[in-house]
Amino acid sequence: MIQVEGLSKIYRVAEKQPGLAGTLRHFIRRRTRDVTAVQDVSFRIEPGEMVGFLGANGAGKTTTLKMLCGLIHPSAGEVQVAGHRPQRRQAEFLRRITLVMGQKQQLLWDLPPMDSLRVNAAVYGIPDAVARRRIKELADLLELGEELTRPVRKLSLGQRMKAELLAALLHEPEVLFLDEPTLGLDVNAQARVRQFLAEYNRRTGATVLLTSHYMADITALCPRVLLIHQGRLFHDGPLEALADQLAPEREVRLELESPVSADDLAGLGRLEQLEGCDVRLLVPRDQLTAVVAQLLDRFPVRDLDVTDPPIEELIGGLFRQGRV
Amino acid sequence: MGRYWRTLRRFWGTAVAVQLEYQANVLIELLAVAMSLSGSLFLLSLFYGPDQTLGGWSWAQALMVQGLYTVFDGMATTWLRPNLGAIVTHVREGTLDFVLLKPIDSQFWLSLRTLSPAGLPEIGLGLGLLAWGSHQAGVVFTLSSFFTVLVMLLAGGLILYSLWFLIAATSIWFVKTWNATEVLRALLASGRYPLNAYPPALRLLFTLVLPVAFLTTVPAQVLLGEAAAPMLSAGLALAVLFFAAARAFWLFALRFYTSASS
């Protein structure tokens, strides 16, 4: 459904020194600099897949998403979405995709969502009867009722986002690009949006590419994850594989009956901490069971705990270290 | 085509609904129109004593020009300002993305999305002023003069729209273009007096560079029988030319659009 081959985007940005002098200099002679937002990214997404798109702010997620929608022309590389080249923005292509942006809205602020929905129905050439049926179906799924007839400005953020989703899905797109669809929502509203997306995907078989800052969105919805860092594709595969790649070791915490020395623990993973009876070891995943068995065998263990660092922290740490 | 027509009806339906959400606003805008018109009539009357002319134009003839100007100003209020002004906002806030992702012509959407009824009374007043001034100036109403007015208004509206749209489209590069549209409005305001009232250099500017003359003075001259029918065709040709330029420029601008970063 989506094929991306060697995709790159280079922006030309203005460079301006701070202060009045810098502004004046900038006004007279503009200096620009090329910034590579996306570099040589390739991937394929099959019909019906739900794929999570991860990356820190400025990693190139939104730029990639916009190239897939046809809003930005790629500097290099080939993109095919639903059999079309997005940058040509043919009507036939636009009818088959949708873009939801958590921080921008298309609904008219002063009017009930229903009015915006009617405009969209006309724009997409959906007959009134069909539009009414679809609105009802989607509203049921989204648990929207009389909110659709209340001015948008009087809706809560969660209600507004759900109405935005309805507006974006009225034309039954086959490919959904979702850019931070749960941004700023409370935990309940996030969960409801997630449930809806999963259900929508199940019912319609739509292909979904989702970016989110909330790891829960990704873990709940996306068996497959693309991780982009500094414009490059860093990982493409299951989320667990990413965890393995980022953190090949697991942490084993021990509480012993009696103190041990560091020498006693040699060969049982990497010693992180040793304070009397409390021990913290980092053990490669593939040796975990063997090491745990040995530990239990050789020491008087009072308590043993194996933890997996949360993926969120791993990715966060990765970005902080700039390790990629 | 049916889809565009249905979309347009929905566009304007929602636009009127938005206006009605703010009743007080509608009243205030109506008041502003009345004040502005009476102000400019007063100003015009200052130039005229008994039997005086302005650049060879009598009071009644000048009223025709003033009427035409009022019609175009109403057009700007009703149609151009709400729509083309929003382009800047769309670019700045990145919501142009939503427009570009719709399977409908983006220029159509941006140019006709909304409508502010506040300018409609102004258009009515302008037409009334034009009719009254023409009557006073001894213009004989025929079917052909009615047709002439209609064509000239359409051509003028198209010229004004195209100029305005061209400026608004540059917001794709400069993001802020309010100043430029203000200059355009000020130039349009120069059309409220007959062209001959201005020094020759400005006359040339208003005819050749910014065809303000074709909006107000030329239609009045055609009605008065002082300018021949070829002027009518010239106005029409100019309108088509400007519209084609605006269209081409928009398609060019879109190629440069990279959308505001999230």
Q: What is the pLDDT tens value at each position of chain B, 262 positions in all?
A: 789 999 999 999 998 888 877 777 777 877 887 788 788 778 777 777 666 777 778 888 888 888 898 899 889 888 998 898 888 888 888 889 999 999 999 999 999 999 888 788 889 888 998 998 898 888 887 888 888 888 889 999 999 999 899 988 888 887 666 667 777 777 788 787 787 777 888 777 777 667 788 888 888 888 888 766 787 888 889 899 999 999 999 998 888 775 544 3
Q: Which of B10, B259, B261 sits opposite A119 (nearest CB)?
A: B10
Q: Which of B10, B101, B257 sits opposite A122 (nearest CB)?
A: B10
Single-letter code of the amino acid located at A131: A
The DSSP-derived string for B203-252 is: HHIIIIISTHHHHTHHHHHHHHTSS-HHHHHHHHHHHHHHHHHHHHHHHH
**Domain with B14 in it:** 2-256
Q: Does domain A248-307 have CATH number 3.30.70.1560?
A: yes
* d(CA A111, nearest CA chain B) in Å: 6
In chain A, CATH 3.40.50.300 covers: 46-240
Q: Do A123 and B3 touch (CB under 8 A)?
A: yes
What are the pLDDT digits (tens) for A72-131? Answer: 888 889 999 999 999 888 999 999 999 999 888 899 888 899 999 999 999 999 999 999
Q: Compute and round to an integer the Cα radius of gyration of chain B.
A: 19
Phi, psi of A123 (to 5 degrees): -60, -40
What is the model's pTM? 0.80
Pairing relation of β-strands A224-229 and A76-81? Answer: unpaired
In this structure, is residue B40 part of a structural domain?
yes
In this structure, is residue B262 part of a structural domain?
no
On whether the CB atoms of residues B92 and B173 are closer than 8 A, the answer is no
Distance CA A213, CA B106 (A): 32
Q: Which residues of A touch B14 (CB under 8 A)?
A: 108, 111, 115-116, 118-119
The CATH number given to A46-240 is 3.40.50.300
Pairing relation of β-strands A224-229 and A50-54? Answer: parallel
Distance CA B2, CA A313 (A): 54
Angle at CA of residue B171, ends B165 and B174, nearest 5°: 145
Comparing C-alpha atoms, which of A98, A312, A104, A61 is closest to residue B92?
A104
Domain tally for chain B? 1
Distance CA B42, CA B49 (A): 12
In this structure, is residue B261 part of a structural domain?
no
Angle at CA of residue A320, ends A317 and A324, nearest 5°: 80
In chain A, CATH 3.30.70.1560 covers: 248-307
Which chain B residue has its CA at the smallest distance from A168's CA? B98
Contacts with A267 (C-beta within 8 Å, 6 or more apart), sequence order: none
Q: Which of A89, A106, A180 sits opposite B98 (nearest CB)?
A: A106
Comparing C-alpha atoms, which of A301, A299, A295, A289 is closest to residue A250?
A289
Tokens 């208004």 belong to residue: B153
